[in-house]
Chains A and B, each alone.
Chain A
Amino acid sequence: MKNNQPDIIAFCCHYCAFTAADLAGTMRLQYPANIRIVRLPCTGRVDANMILQAFVEGADGVMVAGCEEGSCHFILGNLRALKRVTYAKKLLTEAGVNSERLEMYHIAASQGPLFAQKSKEFTERIANIMSGSANK
């Protein structure tokens, strides 16, 4: 976190959330520049270690954004990611890290505005957590 601006890593699925982020750009929608997108073939590629590693490397927040339930290009990848995010939240809590710093979103390729909105909300959430005095 530099100058009160949180560093956020977003693991985005190529088929949905990444396309939504692209669409948000095409639509000239503003979303926070704090977010660094890592494009994945599917959020099913995400495992707890990738998330933990992001925090170890200095990320203030991590968002995982995949397809809506039932519309994963690889059928179940987004649901598997959700289970892994839940597990990673447990590992973070054990390590004394506020698990609210990690979140999973389901965003379809057509939902550019939703991507921008969730990005803003998550950035605000992380900024609040990181500027607070307790439970980071």
Chain B
Amino acid sequence: MITAERKPFEAVYEFARRHQKILVLGCGTCVTVCMAGGEKEVDALASQITLAARQKDDNITVEKHTIERQCDQEFFDEQTSRKIKQADAVISLACGVGVQFCIECFTDSIVYPGVDTKFYGANTEQGIWAERCIGCGDCVLEKFGGLCPVARCSKSLLNGPCGGSAEGKCEVDPENIDCVWQLIYDRMEKLGRLDELELNVPANNWTAGRDGGPRKIVREDITL
């Protein structure tokens, strides 16, 4: 999923105090699962803005609403559209994709981001999300036993490990970051495929990643 963290409240309140009628708009997909921008977080932020406005004598009215996805046109239904248009501004708790798409759908509305979008991650423990993919566009997981060195090696080395690997940890943050090359070695050993690590892996094809500019997927078979 796409993970995110809520922006500091002071930053969000600065957006809110420029307007009188605010809509806090949540997203029911990724940011709900990573507990940054779903219905509950919308409730919490709306309450916080209301309380802060009361404390500071600011005249701000807060509406709240959550839709299934903000990155898909079909979920901006009539009710949502009405609420967005009635508000002076929207604070969207969707990821960066959702915020931009909301702006694309409602070009006359002001939409502020309420979260900082982080990474594609997995929920490794309750309350903990960890990066697993950077969307490089050229998946190499089959070569490394299903562990991605592009996303999980601090240097994105395809022929690791580097000299900064010690006792299975990465020198960048030995307490919190596992050396993925240690994990890859252990995994390949378990699979009996250690010999495959003898091969030199060519450099990643970054033209499929960000170096190729903004990306687009076109499926001619389903376009209308």
Which residues of A approach B to under 8 Å, CB–CB? 47-49, 52-53, 55-56, 91-92, 94-97, 136
Contacts and interface: CB of A to CB of B under 8 A. Distances in A.
A91 B50 contact: no
Q: Specify the main secondary structure of chain B where it touches its partner.
A: helix
A95 B55 contact: yes
A47 B47 CA distance: 13
Contacts of A53: 43, 47
24 contacts: A47-B40, A48-B44, A49-B43, A49-B44, A52-B43, A53-B47, A56-B50, A56-B51, A91-B9, A91-B44, A92-B51, A94-B9, A94-B10, A94-B48, A95-B47, A95-B51, A95-B52, A95-B55, A96-B51, A96-B56, A97-B51, A97-B52, A97-B55, A136-B55
A48 B40 CA distance: 9
Interface of B: 8-10, 40, 43-44, 47-52, 55-56
Contact of B51 (A48, A49, A55): A55
A48 B6 CA distance: 15
Contacts, number: 42
A102 B47 CA distance: 15
Given A94-B9, A94-B10, A95-B9, A52 B44 contact: yes
B47 A55 contact: yes
Contacts of A56: 47, 50-51
Nearest to B47: A52
A12 B44 CA distance: 21
A126 to B, nearest CB: 16
A39 B90 CA distance: 36
A49 B48 contact: no
A97 B10 CA distance: 13
Nearest to B51: A95
A88 to B, nearest CB: 9
Q: Which of A52, A94, A95 has the most CB of B within 10 A?
A: A95
A95 B48 contact: yes
Q: Pick the most buried of B8, B47, B49: most chain A CB atoms within 10 A of its CB.
A: B47
Nearest to B52: A95
A136 B56 CA distance: 11
Given A49-B44, A55-B51, 7 more contacts: A47-B40, A52-B48, A53-B43, A56-B50, A95-B49, A95-B52, A97-B51
Contacts of B48: 52, 91, 94-95
A52 B51 contact: yes
Nearest to B40: A49
B52 to A, nearest CB: 4
